[in-house]
Amino acid sequence: MKATALRIRLLMKVLVVQLAQVQNSYCAQDNGAAFPRVLPNRLQFFEYEFISFICEFGGSAEWRVMRTLREITPTNISNWETSAGSGTINPAFSSDSGEYWCEDGDGRRSNALNISVTAGSVILESPVHVTDGDHVTLKCQKKKDSGHPIAEFYKDGLHIKTVYEGNMVISNVSASDEGLYKCYIFGAGESLESWLAVRGSLEDAHAGHSPNLLALLSLLTLLLLVLGVCRKHKGRLCPASSSQHKTPSSCPLCHGTCEQTCTRSVGPPALHHITVCPSTLTPDFT
């Protein structure tokens, strides 16, 4: 019995450890695949615009917006942070360009975004991130101009397309479309470069969790089986020490009421009945 109880406790501890590992894996995968939400939804901004950062993730952890400015030396990597899950820069200046991410009190962090603020006349409006299979629109925007200029688009330094309305559409985007993009407007200038990040589909993300789920379900099934066997044989398992209980019974020797003692001993499930007549009773021989 002691050995069986020890095995059950050990199995419970293993299950708890495995569950914690699966949960940490989920957090790492979910947070690693996430980005801060940026309003407006782009990576490049003109000076004097506003930029808002929002950290919205599942769980009870409190997230903060963190950044590393490009003009700060590498040794000073966390020179600014907010005390809540959101932060706004208004107005923004070129000195606010840098890397922004979300981080909780345990040091877990999301993916980082490279935000560019320019004093120039042209920006590339590209979404913060896109999902595999989406249709993506890249817009070459001139400052204080709502028209549709002729623009050239570049990826990783190579010219890829010239458009006459300022917008370039990438249909059915995939990982091969990731890269550094910039644009150029005739007579206005060139934008800064921004990285286009493509995330996998939800099906791919769920498939990554499958091994962890299978392991957890296997452990739960094993635990239920062990508990079922123990419950089935509970009546036949003896405790560590013998137990006794007394029941009244008729005594054929003394023609009176005797006490029958049932003793359950350690070992095989055998019950030993001992009939004891109280000493205060006198047998009747008549």
Identical fold between 36-119 and 120-196? yes
Cβ-proximal residues to 99 (8 Å cutoff; 6+ apart), any chain: 67, 68, 70, 112, 113, 114, 115
Domain borders along the chain are 2-23+207-236, 36-119, 120-196, 243-276
Q: How does the average pLDDT of the chain come out, rounded?
A: 72
CATH level 3 topology of 120-196: Immunoglobulin-like (2.60.40)
How far is residue 35 from each of residues 30, 54, 66, 99, 191, measured CA to CA in Å?
10, 9, 12, 12, 23
For the stretch 258-281, pLDDT in tens is: 544 444 444 444 444 444 444 444
pTM of the model: 0.59
Cα–Cα distance, 249 to 260 (Å, whole number): 6
For the stretch 59-111, pLDDT in tens is: 656 788 888 877 654 444 445 566 667 889 999 999 999 999 998 878 888 88
Q: Name residue 135's amino acid.
A: H
CATH level 3 topology of 36-119: Immunoglobulin-like (2.60.40)
Strands 130-131 and 198-199: parallel
**How are strands ordered across the β-sheet holding 51-54?**
37-39, 51-54, 86-89
Instruction: Say if residue 195's pLDDT is above 60.
Output: yes
Can you give the three-state secondary structure of 62-84, one letter per residue? Answer: CEEEEEEECCCCCCCCCCEECCC
Please answer whether residues 153 and 161 qualify as being in contact, where contact means their C-beta atoms are separated by less than 8 angstroms.
yes
For the stretch 144-185, pLDDT in tens is: 876 778 999 999 999 999 998 889 999 999 999 999 999 999
